[in-house]
Chains A and B, each alone.
Chain A
Amino acid sequence: MSNFPFLSVLTVAPLVGALVVALLPRHRPELAKQVAFVWSLLVLVLSVVMWVSFKAGGDRFQFRESYSWIPNWGVNFTFAADGIALVMLMLIAVLVPLVILASWHDADASKRSVPVYFALLLVLECTMIGVFAAADVFLFYVFFEVMLVPMYFLIGSYGGHQRQYAAVKFFLYSLVGGLFMLAAVIGLWVVGGKTFDWQALSQVDISTGTERWLFLGFFLAFAIKAPFFPFHTWLPDAGGAAPAGAAALLVGVLDKVGTFGILRYCLPLFPEASKWFAPWALALGVIGIVYAALLAVGQNDLKRLVSYTSIAHFGFIGVGIFAFTTQAGTGAVLYMLNHGLATGLLFLVVGMLISRRGSALISDFGGAGKLVPVLAGVLFFAGLASLALPGTAPFISEFLVLIGTFTVNKPVAVIATLGIILAAAYVLWMVQRTTQGTLNPALTEVDGMRRDLNLREKVVVAPLVALIVLLGFFPKPVTDVINPAVQATMDDIGKTDPAPSVGGTVQEAAK
Chain B
Amino acid sequence: MTELKLPSIDYAAIAPILIMLGTALLGVLVEALVPRRWRHLVQLTLALLAVLAALTMVVLNADERIITAGQALAIDGPTLFLQGAILVLAAMALLLIGDRTVERGGAFVAQAAVTAESADDRRQAEGRNGLTEVYPLTTFAIGGMLIFVAANDLLTMFIALEVFSLPLYLLCALARRRRLLSQEAAMKYFLLGAYASAFFLFGVALIYGFTAGIPGRSAGVDFATIHAAVSESPASPVLLFAGMALLAIGLLFKAAAAPFHVWTPDVYQGAPTPVTGFMAACTKVAAFGALLRVFHVAFADANWDFTPVLGAVAVLTMLVGAVLAVTQTDIKRLLAYSSIANAGYLLVGVLAPSRDGLSGTMFYLVAYGFSVLAAFAVVTLVRDADGEATHLSRWAGLGRRSPFFAALFTFILLAFAGIPLTSGFTSKFAIFGPALEGGQAWLVIAGVLTSMVLAFPYLRVVVMMWLSEPGESTPTVTVPGGLTSAALMIGVLATLVLGVAPAPLLDLATGAAEFVR
Residues of chain A at the chain B interface (Cβ within 8 Å): 69-73, 141-142, 145-146, 148-149, 153, 156-157, 163-164, 167-168, 171-172, 175-176, 179-180, 182-183, 186-187, 189-190
Contacts and interface: CB of A to CB of B under 8 A. Distances in A.
B467 A167 contact: yes
Interface stretch (B200-208, B209-217, B280-288, B450-458): B450-458
B369 interface: no
A168 B459 contact: yes
Nearest to A185: B429
A251 B506 CA distance: 39
B467 A157 contact: yes
B506 A72 contact: yes
A417 B452 CA distance: 38
B449 to A, nearest CB: 8
B132 interface: no
Contacts of A146: 419-421
Given A145-B420, A175-B417, A179-B451, A73 B429 contact: yes
Contacts of A183: 432, 444-445, 448
A142 B506 contact: no
Interface in B418-454: 418-421, 425-426, 428-429, 432-433, 436-437, 441, 444-445, 448-449, 451-452
B514 to A, nearest CB: 16
A186 B429 contact: yes
B322 to A, nearest CB: 12
Given A175-B417, A179-B448, A183-B448, A153 B455 contact: no
Contacts of A180: 448
Given A164-B467, A183-B432, A149 B414 contact: yes
Given A70-B503, A145-B425, A182-B429, 8 more contacts: A69-B503, A72-B507, A73-B429, A145-B420, A146-B419, A164-B468, A171-B455, A179-B452
Interface residues of B, number: 35
B260 interface: no
A176 B448 CA distance: 9
A149 B425 CA distance: 14
Nearest to B438: A190
B392 interface: no
Given A175-B417, A175-B455, A190 B448 contact: no
Nearest to B445: A183
A285 to B, nearest CB: 26
A70 B506 contact: yes
A186 B440 CA distance: 12
B466 A157 contact: yes
A182 B506 CA distance: 20
Given A146-B421, A149-B414, A149-B419, A186 B463 contact: no
B502 interface: yes
Contacts of A164: 463, 467-468
A179 B459 CA distance: 15
B419 A145 contact: yes
A414 B226 CA distance: 72
A462 to B, nearest CB: 36
A157 B414 CA distance: 17
Given A156-B467, A163-B467, A183-B445, A142 B503 contact: no
A431 B337 CA distance: 52
B138 interface: no
8 contacts: A69-B503, A145-B419, A146-B420, A148-B419, A180-B448, A183-B444, A183-B448, A186-B429
Contacts of A189: 433
Contacts of B428: 182
A-B pairs with the 9 shortest C-beta distances? A142-B420, A72-B506, A183-B448, A164-B467, A156-B467, A179-B448, A176-B452, A145-B420, A190-B437
A73 B428 CA distance: 13
B510 interface: yes
A168 B426 CA distance: 24
Contacts of A148: 419
Contacts of A69: 501, 503
A279 to B, nearest CB: 26
The interface residues of chain B, by DSSP majority, are classed as helix
A156 B468 CA distance: 10
A157 B462 CA distance: 12
Interface string B5-28: 000000000000000000000000
Contacts of A156: 463, 466-467
B457 to A, nearest CB: 11
A141 B432 CA distance: 15
Contacts of B425: 142, 145
A176 B466 CA distance: 22
A162 to B, nearest CB: 11
Interface in B498-517: 501-503, 506-507, 510
A179 B419 CA distance: 10
A167 B436 CA distance: 33
A172 B455 contact: yes
A71 B503 contact: yes
A148 B414 CA distance: 11
Given A163-B467, A172-B456, A141 B420 contact: yes
Nearest to A145: B420
Contacts of B468: 164
Contacts of A187: 436, 441
Contacts of B421: 142, 146
A160 B231 CA distance: 67
A168 B506 contact: no
Contacts of B466: 153, 156-157
A157 B403 CA distance: 13
Contacts of B507: 72
Nearest to B468: A164
B459 A186 contact: no
B419 A190 contact: no
Given A167-B467, A175-B452, A186 B433 contact: yes
A69 B501 CA distance: 7
Most buried by B among A157, A171, A186: A186
A90 to B, nearest CB: 26
A352 B501 CA distance: 44
A134 B492 CA distance: 27
A94 B332 CA distance: 47
A71 B429 CA distance: 14
A156 B469 CA distance: 12
A179 B445 CA distance: 10
A67 to B, nearest CB: 12
Nearest to B444: A183
B419 A72 contact: no
Contacts of B429: 73, 182, 186
Contact of B459 (A153, A163, A172, A182): A172
Contacts of B451: 179
A190 B436 contact: yes
A186 B436 contact: yes
B448 A182 contact: yes
Contacts of A149: 414, 419
Nearest to B356: A72
A163 B467 CA distance: 9
A168 B460 CA distance: 8
B510 A72 contact: yes
B432 A186 contact: yes
B355 to A, nearest CB: 12
Contacts of A70: 426, 501-503, 506
Most buried by A among B418, B452, B455, B467: B467
A320 B436 CA distance: 35
Interface string B67-103: 0000000000000000000000000000000000000
B366 to A, nearest CB: 15
Interface in B461-517: 463, 466-468, 501-503, 506-507, 510
Contacts of A186: 429, 432-433, 436, 444
Nearest to B433: A186
A257 to B, nearest CB: 15
Contacts of B420: 141-142, 145-146
